[in-house]
Amino acid sequence: MRSLLVVAFGVLLSSCSSIRIDTPEVRQKISQDLNLTSIIDISRMNWCVHPYGSEPGCEPDKGVGVVTPNGLVMAQIIEGKYVVKRTIKAEDITCSTVYGGTGTEGLLFAFGKHEAYMLGPMKENQKEINAAFNANMFSYLHSEGQHVFNGPEINFQRPSGRKVKQTTILNAGAATRVITEEVDVLEIYSPCNIEKSNLIKAKPTNLD
């Protein structure tokens, strides 16, 4: 599982735009285009949506994330205007875990009823997680006391019951060996029903 998550983490940290969004003018445009009356924080945002039962890995959507009192709004620029692509409300989230760091420095995986969300807010340099925005996003998404996994190795990928043939070619000097074997196809699932003794309650005001 770790290797797949490392790939996903690297993809999420890739560049999304050269336009700065940390200016009053851009903030005002985002507010107007999205018809938002109250904004807590804004950041570049890369995200993936994984329906349960789907295979790991994704090509992330890239745009902006906006934390509001009523939802986490993710939007993209279309024909010069910011357009809402997805909104996640606190009540949509059942549990979560952080990958690739500690506290607000990691990548947030949030689990809903039917799908998982991989959320990567980015700094303006597009190379690091935006920890300040992450804290605000975390606080909102866990405002109803959702559980947070406490541990570095939380498994939310499992064998799906399907198998595919995998061929490996081994070169050893002049000899070539071809190995064909069946391997499990993994799927994303929700770990939220894990025994509560392995979970901690979210503490939005103390993330570090």
Strand, helix or coil for residue 5: helix
Is the torsion defined by CA of 102, 103, 105, 111 positive or negative? positive
Asked if 167 and 180 touch (Cβ cutoff 8 Å), the reply is yes
d(CA 78, CA 73): 15
Chain segment 127-163, per-residue pLDDT in tens? 789 999 999 999 999 999 998 886 655 678 888 777 7
Confidence of residue 125 (pLDDT cuts 50, 70, 90): confident
Asked if 64 and 74 touch (Cβ cutoff 8 Å), the reply is yes
- What is the set of domains in the chain, with CATH numbers? 2-153+193-201 (2.30.29.30), 160-188 (no CATH)
Strand, helix or coil for residue 9: helix
Chain segment 66-106, per-residue pLDDT in tens? 999 999 999 999 999 999 999 999 999 999 988 765 566 77
- Note the pTM of the prediction, 2 decimals: 0.77
The torsion of the CA quartet 69, 72, 76, 81, rounded to 10 degrees, works out to -10
